[in-house]
Amino acid sequence: NSKLENIYTNEAYLLCKEWEIKRLLPRFENNVKSLDKKDYKIIKRLDQVERLFERLSFEEYVGVSYVRFPDSDKDGQMTLFGGDELRLMALSDRKECYVIDLCDDISESYIANALYDLSCKCNILSFNLKDMLYDFEGLNRDNCFDVSVAFYLLDPTKKEYSYDDIASEYLNMMLPGREELIGKKSIASQFDSNKDKIIELKGNEAYVACNGFIKILPELKGEYDNLYYNIEMPLLFTLYDMEREGIYLDKNALEEYGNTLNSRINELENNIYDLAGEEFNINSPKQLGEILFSEDKLGLPGSKKTKSGYSTAADVLEKLAPEHEIVKDILEYRGLAKLYSTYVEGLLKAQDSDGKIHCNFQQTVTATGRLSCTEPNLQNIPIRLELGRMIRKVFYPRDGFVFVDADYSQVELRVLAHMSGDEGLIDSFNRGDDIHTSTASKIFDVEPEDVTPLMRRTAKAVNFGIVYGESSFGLSENLGISRKEAKKYIEDYFKVYPKMKEFLESLKDKAREKGYSETLLGRKRPIIELSSKNFNIRSFGERVAMNTPIQGTAADIIKIAMVNVDRKLRDSNMKSRLILQVHDELLIEAAKEEEDKVYDILKDEMMNAISLLVPLEIDIHSGNTWYEAK
């Protein structure tokens, strides 16, 4: 007799979105109070366009969004060789949103120039300014701001920064998102058949860009003023320039390297099949685990580790190597197959028609404030093993230039020394000691010259462990020792660096109290895991509370250095350019005659990016390939 209430409420709608139960979303359409429908003035005549830009020029902020694609993609017609064309541009002020339809006599160059003029008179807001610059290079950079980067600073743990999420969270508006409006297919493939929805999509985006940004201006001009206006926004333009510049790839050398790998891979493959007594897919952890551990196969002592069965990860296999000849071949095969598929094939696929690799730097992805890098990822090019390291020989500078590579020495431990204020650690860095040797001599209570390689290795692992959020379990796992021994090392560490324990405790306490952890420059990461009832999740939250201020501050520091290096290169009218960042490393393509000056700039700007209680040191090298410059 009880009437079922409508379960399709606004709250349930948002939860379905958050949990990505996408197939339920259409059911909400007629139930959600007001899937707000902003209306848009559609503009198709040149005189209207002219009046629109005139009108907008009196606004302080204008949100922009647009559609641009080549002819060949349009509704599946494979008209080849069609150039990129601007189709729609949405422009929004606080009240009104306009969508220009370029189908008629409105030329793309007219719109572009009107937009460039507008960017001299008011602030342009975009959800993806870095990509927008590829299409509208003439924008006045001083007056362009990225909305996603702004909201990323407010909460860097979000999966994405979409206008519908921002509208519901910050503007109390329920707008249909991209997938609800046009599904999963590309805009180009349905541009003519679904134009109304595409216009609504772009209109929404421009509208929220403007109003969302204005809504958080107090925060941006307040606690995030330095991070947003002095660091992230200038950095966005630096990243754009780095991506555009790209880096040359020696295709022939890489193919030759690939061929060498390939013959060895084939040898190993046959060896492995012989030793196993049958053919199977070595790349399948499931099949490999079966071959290695099953009683009726090789029956090696297996240690179950993963959800799906036996673990065949390298550390497990390494312990197994003495048991059977096949294991070392599998390990070698794994290494070579990784190099071949990820780096040889991957990089060749990513090479542009100009012979260069143009990666994408992601500015709104990591929870700590670091950058990430995709398509391809140039931040994980091999270096630790010589065979992989050789891949760096195929990255080379343009004619008349050399690479200059500078990387920070122990930047995270220096940040830790500064933030903790521990005199022992600070003194070690100020004396210029090797930090792992210094830590070893302290925790093993021997003279630095009596520190053995094993002691140094152990101390290095302890130092890493502290940065990762002190835990005896992780350390024991890493060193292959008992938890008890690991715990002892950590206790000894806290004895010889007495301020460290209370410092790490204070990071956890502060994060629990405020709900977020914070870097030296005020970058914040919410840590909801700290209030979890689940021990594992809560412990993870504690490690994150200790790690984020350290990793995040290091990220802040190199971002400052990048902005300052880039500025100095340009202000001095130099030809040398920043081309890559790898977390604690900057790579510059330097004109040969500018090499000395580039050294000076890198040293100066990296070492003085911030003033800490310890010096910031760098290693710096040059060479004719990335390999030579390390």
Partner DNA sequence: GTGTTCACG
Partner DNA sequence: ACGTACGTGAACACA
H helices present in 447-594, as ranges: 453-467, 472-479, 483-496, 498-514, 535-571
- Choose among DNA, Mg ion, none what residue 130 binds, the Cβ cut-off being 5 to 8 Å by kind: none
Question: Which of 70, 82, 382, 623 touches DNA by CB under 7 A?
Answer: 382
Dihedral through CA 167, CA 169, CA 174, CA 175, nearest 10?
30
Instruction: Could you list the beta-strand ranges (E) of 289-390.
Output: 304-306, 309-310, 356-357, 360-362, 372-374
User: Which residue lies nearer to DNA by CB, 457 or 514?
Assistant: 457
- State how far the Cα of 119 lies from the Cα of 61, in Å rounded to an integer: 10
User: Which residue lies nearer to DNA by CB, 119 or 471?
Assistant: 471
**621 binding DNA? (CB under 7 A):** no
Token code pair at residue 311? 């673990």
CA distances from 237 to 225, 564, 567, 578, 593 (A): 17, 12, 11, 12, 26
Site pattern 391..430 for DNA (x: CB under 7 A): ----------------x-----------------------
**335 binding DNA? (CB under 7 A):** yes
User: Which residue lies nearer to DNA by CB, 210 or 629?
Assistant: 629
Question: Which of 376, 549, 616, 622 touches DNA by CB under 7 A?
Answer: 376
Q: Find the binding residues for DNA in span 452-471 (CB under 7 A).
A: 461-462, 464-465, 468-471
**21 binding DNA? (CB under 7 A):** no
The residue count for the chain: 630
From the list 25-33, 37-45, 223-231, 341-349, the region that binds DNA by CB under 7 A is 341-349
Rounded to a whole number of angstroms, the minimum distance from the CB of residue 152 to Mg ion is 26
Residue 152 near residue 160 (C-beta atoms within 8 A): no
Beta bridge partners of 97: 40, 92
Question: Which of 388, 424, 526, 623 touches DNA by CB under 7 A?
Answer: 388
Q: Is the dihedral of CA 544, 547, 553, 555 positive or negative?
A: negative
**269 binding DNA? (CB under 7 A):** no
Instruction: Name the 3-class secondary structure at 36.
Output: coil
Q: Catalog residues that contact Mg ion under the rule CB under 5 A.
A: 407, 584
- Total residues in contact with DNA, by rule CB under 7 A: 76
From the list 4-12, 70-78, 430-438, 472-480, the region that binds DNA by CB under 7 A is 472-480
Residue 589 near residue 241 (C-beta atoms within 8 A): no
Rounded to a whole number of angstroms, the minimum distance from the CB of residue 276 to DNA is 15
From the list 223-231, 291-299, 503-511, 535-543, the region that binds DNA by CB under 7 A is 535-543
User: Which residue lies nearer to Mg ion by CB, 542 or 584?
Assistant: 584
- State how far the Cα of 99 lies from the Cα of 115, in Å rounded to an integer: 14
Name 205's Cβ contacts closer than 8 Å, sequence gap at least 6. Answer: 63, 65, 90, 127, 163
- Choose among Mg ion, DNA, none what residue 364 binds, the Cβ cut-off being 5 to 8 Å by kind: none
Beta bridge partners of 63: 92, 125
**375 binding DNA? (CB under 7 A):** yes
**539 binding DNA? (CB under 7 A):** yes
Amino acid at 398: R
- Choose among DNA, Mg ion, none what residue 461 binds, the Cβ cut-off being 5 to 8 Å by kind: DNA
Rounded to a whole number of angstroms, the minimum distance from the CB of residue 538 to DNA is 8
**374 binding DNA? (CB under 7 A):** yes
**576 binding DNA? (CB under 7 A):** no
Give the count of beta carbons closer than 10 Å to the beta carbon of residue 624. Answer: 13
Site pattern 286..305 for DNA (x: CB under 7 A): xx-x---------------x
Question: Which of 27, 195, 568, 583 touches DNA by CB under 7 A?
Answer: 583
From the list 26-34, 195-203, 339-347, 510-518, the region that binds DNA by CB under 7 A is 339-347
Using alpha carbons only, give the angle 245, 251, 257 rounded to the nearest 5 degrees.
Answer: 130
- State how far the Cα of 389 lies from the Cα of 355, in Å rounded to an integer: 21
From the list 32-40, 158-166, 374-382, 432-440, the region that binds DNA by CB under 7 A is 374-382
Beta bridge partners of 146: 126
Rounded to a whole number of angstroms, the minimum distance from the CB of residue 551 to Mg ion is 14
Question: Which of 536, 571, 573, 611 touches DNA by CB under 7 A?
Answer: 536
Residue 132 near residue 139 (C-beta atoms within 8 A): yes
